[in-house]
Chain A
Amino acid sequence: MSRYILIQSKSPWESGDVGHFYALARELGDRGEVTFFLVQNGVMAARTGASDAGLDGILGGKVRVLADDFSLRERGIDAGSLKKGVGSGAIDEVVDLLAGGAKALWH
């Protein structure tokens, strides 16, 4: 089974492409093992109460969703305030997946 690491660096409010990236993650999740890693402004959508149907659509499904702990701290977001289904993770997670041969995409 193919493994994928998709890295989302933008919030859904700064780029319309973000919605397409969520959709790509969801579709890949049907065919492989997908980690969706939110970094930089990408973590903004992970806050409880943030209105983002695209991200909500992949939570609780086959895609593992992580938010970069450093980006959360930079923005004053407590890891305990994230939406259900989003975990806090270190950038080491990305390195581990790359080292293990996962296919990577950055947006």
Chain B
Amino acid sequence: MATITIGIMDPPYESANTPTAFRLVEAAIRKGHNVNVFCYEGATALGFAGQKPHANAVHGLSLEEEDHPNPKEWVKSLLTFAGEKKVKLVWCNCGMCVDERGVENQVEGVCRGSPVDAWKYSEASDGVLLIGTE
């Protein structure tokens, strides 16, 4: 079992980087590794509990038919998956970035930290990947 740290910076609904990051975290958990995720800048909104699914009026789909996947649900699923696999998933937000964006209300299991924590996670990890924005 190894420990991997992944840094994410893109906000939700903006970039294909986000689903790729989710896929990496899922694969690492599935393989039995501990994972630290450090969300910086816009990525701190990934776990914002206030996200709401919506219907699609253009396609005439109801909320249920549209089944819009909010990123907070993916964060929750990954935290649950880690528990099932008995590995540790730390999902840590940069606290200052959270405050700037007013996204303090996060799904259960997301913690608050600072870039110092990102440094500590990296130091204690076998592998580190930062997925930066443009």
Given A9-B16, A9-B17; A95-B27 close (CB under 8 Å): yes
Minimal Cβ-Cβ distance residue in B for A96: B31
User: Which residues of the other chain, A, contact B24 by a CB distance below 8 angstroms?
Assistant: 91, 94-95
CB within 8 Å of A: which of B82-134? Answer: 126-132
Interface residue count on the A side (C-beta < 8 Å): 20
CB within 8 Å of B: which of A12-52? Answer: 39-41
Residue of A39, A70, A90, A99 touching B127 (CB-CB under 8 A): A99
User: Which residues of the other chain, A, contact B128 by a CB distance below 8 angstroms?
Assistant: 98, 104
Asked if B28 lies at the interface with its beta carbon under 8 angstroms from chain A, I say yes
Asked if B68 lies at the interface with its beta carbon under 8 angstroms from chain A, I say no
For the complex, give the distance between the alpha carbons of A90 and B20 in Å: 12
For the complex, give the distance between the alpha carbons of A94 and B129 in Å: 10
The answer to whether A92 touches B129, judged by C-beta atoms less than 8 angstroms apart, is: no
Which residue numbers of B lie inside 8 Å of A, CB to CB?
A: 2, 4, 16-17, 20, 23-24, 27-28, 31, 33, 126-132
Q: List 8 A-B contacts (CB under 8 A).
A: A7-B129, A9-B16, A94-B27, A98-B129, A100-B127, A101-B127, A102-B127, A106-B131
